[in-house]
Amino acid sequence: MIGDKENVHSACRLEIEAVCGKARATVMHLPHVSAKTPMFMPVGTQGTVKGLTTDQLMEANAQVILGNTYHLALRPGGDTVEAMGGLHEFMNWPKGILTDSGGFQMVSLLRFSSVSEEGVHFQSPVDGTDMLLTPEKSIELQNQIGADIIMALDDVVSSTVTGPRVEEAMHRTLRWIDRCIAAHARPHDQNLFGIVQGGLDAKLRAMCLEEMTKRDLPGFAIGGLSGGEKKDTFWRIVDQCTGKLPTEKPRYCMGVGYPVDLMVCVALGVDMFDCVYPARTARFGTALVKTGLLKVKSSAMAKDFRPLDPGCECTVCKSFTRAYIHSLTPKDGSTGAQLITLHNIAYLTNLMSEARAALLENRFPDFIREFMHLQYPNGDFPAWAVEAFSSAGIELSSANS
């Protein structure tokens, strides 16, 4: 199967519009959307992004949203999603969808799971019976769900694990990708992305990159990061991967959602991101703003009549003040969390389109410097970010000179 272009088709065409160092602005033509990258993809685990209507997501400029195969397979089930016309039709979302393989969810959410050559063994959280998710089953489920981009089942180990288990997982991920490719029934309208593993070990990453890129897949993801590893290691692995991944294919860094991390990855050449962070942090009353984080519950907000983020064009910022959102408590229902979630998603999609505009207008380094100075007004940038941007040819300090 390796490199067998006859059997591996692509339903994705990548148009690179601008490049600055490794960073790039592209248009990713997918079956349901021509997505402008770099882009942030909100997570809609169970066929809905926390409390938001699909029109609100459109207004927040979401282009591709994420569905979790594991959750959808449990409820309503792959057969039901398929019978309802696939996930796009089921949730009435006309733009792009990406589904994960389900493997990560099992390993991270379930206590009783284990991995063998066959697949991921787990106990059904519904009835406790022994279940097995094989690469073939994952792809079958994702074919039923019908997303624009589907992910290969990989052998996930936590990014903080070291030793032979990491190497084993890397090799198994490579064996499984071929099983995924073979099982994929809809290559004409669904794009199977391979996932580069190898933990934090540069040698293993290099091997995995070498082998994975031999497969003519429509796109590649960088997996196994965002699990609590040191930022200094994180960016170097991303840098290593984007250096080796083919430029003409989309690159997706999984699970990254903090604004500074996102900008570092964009500078290093990543095109797409997903994270539950904007919705999760909203539920704790935190809004993402140009100057960092805004704790909406803080009593300083009680009489603050500015929008969450002055200058933000989202519908929440156009209509509501910090003081109003501050006054909403759980006993008033879910509206407070809904409003902050909507703003947070709009913030991240907007951050991405600003980065994109800067790339198109050939002023990306200035944009990054301005972004970082707003996030760190005292100029106390984290050392890892300074180094990461520098390796991408962007010196943070020159904005002051």
Buried residues in 158-184 as b, exposed as e (16+ CB within 10 A): ebeeeeeebbebbbbbbebbbbbbebb
Total number of residues shown for the chain: 401
Task: Please check if 104 is assigned to a binding site.
Answer: yes
How many angstroms separate the Cα of 368 from the Cα of each of 92, 247, 359, 364, 388? 36, 22, 10, 6, 12
50 lines the binding site for other proteins (CB under 8 A): yes
Q: Is 304 a catalytic residue?
A: no
312 binds, among other proteins, Zn ion, none (CB under 5 to 8 A by kind): Zn ion
For the CB of residue 52, give the shortest distance to other proteins in the complex, in Å.
7
Measured between its terminal Cα atoms, the distance across the chain in Å is 55
Give the type of residue at 316. V
71 lines the binding site for other proteins (CB under 8 A): yes
Binder of other proteins out of 7, 327, 390, 397 (CB under 8 A): 327
Task: Please check if 312 is assigned to a binding site.
Answer: yes
Q: Is 274 a catalytic residue?
A: yes
For the CB of residue 54, give the shortest distance to other proteins in the complex, in Å.
7
Binder of other proteins out of 62, 65, 91, 152 (CB under 8 A): 91
Number of residues that bind other proteins (CB under 8 A): 42
Q: Indicate which residue of 201, 274, 304, 309 is catalytic.
A: 274
CB 103 within 8 A of CB 154: yes
Name the residue nearer to other proteins (CB basis): 60 or 253. 60
317 binds, among other proteins, Zn ion, none (CB under 5 to 8 A by kind): Zn ion
For the CB of residue 322, give the shortest distance to Zn ion in the complex, in Å.
11
State how far the Cα of 291 lies from the Cα of 309, in Å rounded to an integer: 9
352 binds, among Zn ion, other proteins, none (CB under 5 to 8 A by kind): none
Ramachandran category for residue 226: left, alpha or beta (phi over 0 → left; psi -120 to 50 → alpha): left
397 binds, among Zn ion, other proteins, none (CB under 5 to 8 A by kind): none
Q: Quote the tokens at residue 67.
A: 């569905």
Name the residue nearer to other proteins (CB basis): 297 or 363. 297
Q: Which among 258, 228, 222, 218 is positioned nearest to 385, based on CA atoms?
A: 258
For the CB of residue 339, give the shortest distance to other proteins in the complex, in Å.
6
CB 326 within 8 A of CB 302: yes
295 lines the binding site for other proteins (CB under 8 A): no
CA 340 to chain CA centroid, Å, is 20
185 binds, among Zn ion, other proteins, none (CB under 5 to 8 A by kind): none
State how far the Cα of 185 lies from the Cα of 139, in Å rounded to an integer: 8
Helical H segments across 14-130, by residue range: 54-59, 69-74, 78-83, 87-91, 103-109
Task: Please check if 102 is assigned to a binding site.
Answer: yes
Restricted to residues 329-358, the positions that interact with other proteins (CB under 8 A) are 331-335, 338-339, 342
75 lines the binding site for other proteins (CB under 8 A): yes
Q: Which among 319, 339, 312 is positioned nearest to 328, based on CA atoms?
A: 339
For the CB of residue 355, give the shortest distance to other proteins in the complex, in Å.
26
83 lines the binding site for other proteins (CB under 8 A): yes
State how far the Cα of 243 lies from the Cα of 225, in Å rounded to an integer: 17
Name the residue nearer to other proteins (CB basis): 126 or 128. 126
Strands 120-123 vs 286-289: parallel, antiparallel or unpaired: unpaired
76 lines the binding site for other proteins (CB under 8 A): yes
For the CB of residue 319, give the shortest distance to other proteins in the complex, in Å.
4
DSSP labels, 279-325: HHHHHTTEEEETTEEEETTSGGGTT--S-SSTT--SHHHHH--HHHH
Ramachandran category for residue 235: left, alpha or beta (phi over 0 → left; psi -120 to 50 → alpha): alpha
125 binds, among Zn ion, other proteins, none (CB under 5 to 8 A by kind): none
Any idea which residues carry the catalytic annotation?
100, 274
**Which residues in this chain contact other proteins in the complex, by CB under 8 A?**
46-48, 50-56, 71, 75-76, 80, 83-85, 90-92, 299, 302-303, 305, 315-316, 319-321, 323-324, 326-328, 331-335, 338-339, 342
Binding residues: 100-104, 154, 197, 224, 312, 314, 317, 343
Residues annotated in the binding site for Zn(2+), as ranges?
312, 314, 317, 343
